Chain A
Amino acid sequence: AQSVTQPDIHITVSEGASLELRCNYSYGATPYLFWYVQSPGQGLQLLLKYFSGDTLVQGIKGFEAEFKRSQSSFNLRKPSVHWSDAAEYFCAVGREGNMLTFGGGTRLMVKP
């Protein structure tokens, strides 16, 4: 069965510092991978996705993620965090029928 693990439940970084959110997946086939962001009480906004091709994927708001098949990882990065990036981040893997399995989420807090 497919699964997604986000090892860090909470992360706090200072504004302007770099960020890396970890995501590991378990899936038998080539995965479709996604990162979403959710502000409190809001729905999900897609940051970026990987389907195939270049393993370094650029997204919105200055985010990027790198697919590493050998490590079954799809970590999200941002070189300089802004206070407005404080939110919940979800990694997800697409499976048969295009259904998504979500990780547990990582709550990002940004210190001024």
Chain B
Amino acid sequence: GAVVSQHPSWVICKSGTSVKIECRSLDFQATTMFWYRQFPKQSLMLMATSNEGSKATYEQGVEKDKFLINHASLTLSTLTVTSAHPEDSSFYICSARDLRTAYNEQFFGPGTRLTVL
């Protein structure tokens, strides 16, 4: 089955630093990946759609200059949280769309917990 990995699984950083999170599709090529954010005890909110070889599409209210997305290959998308602040602390989950499946299903990574001190 389709497998999506994320790295790191957790990260702690100081306020003002940048953090990069990787999302990889391990056994399929993904032209489209999605980045979600989940606050404690809340649902997943779509942040952006990452398209291979083109600019990401951000949801309303998401700062594109703060959350940089790069989808440079068919198996890798990265999310960089720039100048992180404590309010950026959250659980970040990616998903990848598998075009081999019916209705182009999304498969989710295990998530990355970001804590900004």
Contacts and interface: CB of A to CB of B under 8 A. Distances in A.
Interface residues of A, number: 22
Contacts of B109: 43
A99 B34 contact: yes
Contacts, number: 50
Contact residues of B: prevailing secondary structure: strand
B24 to A, nearest CB: 13
Interface in B1-54: 6, 32, 34, 41-46, 49
Contacts of B113: 41
Given A42-B111, A43-B110, A99 B42 contact: no
Interface in B93-117: 93, 95, 97, 102-111, 113
Interface residues of B, number: 25
Given A49-B105, A104-B43, A41 B111 contact: yes
B106 A103 contact: no
15 contacts: A41-B113, A43-B93, A43-B109, A44-B44, A46-B105, A46-B108, A51-B102, A51-B103, A94-B103, A100-B34, A101-B46, A102-B43, A102-B45, A104-B43, A107-B41
Interface of A: 32, 36, 41-46, 49, 51, 90, 94, 97-105, 107
Given A32-B103, A98-B97, A102-B43, 19 more contacts: A41-B111, A41-B113, A42-B110, A42-B111, A43-B110, A43-B111, A44-B93, A46-B107, A49-B105, A90-B44, A98-B32, A98-B105, A99-B34, A99-B49, A100-B106, A101-B46, A104-B43, A105-B42, A105-B43
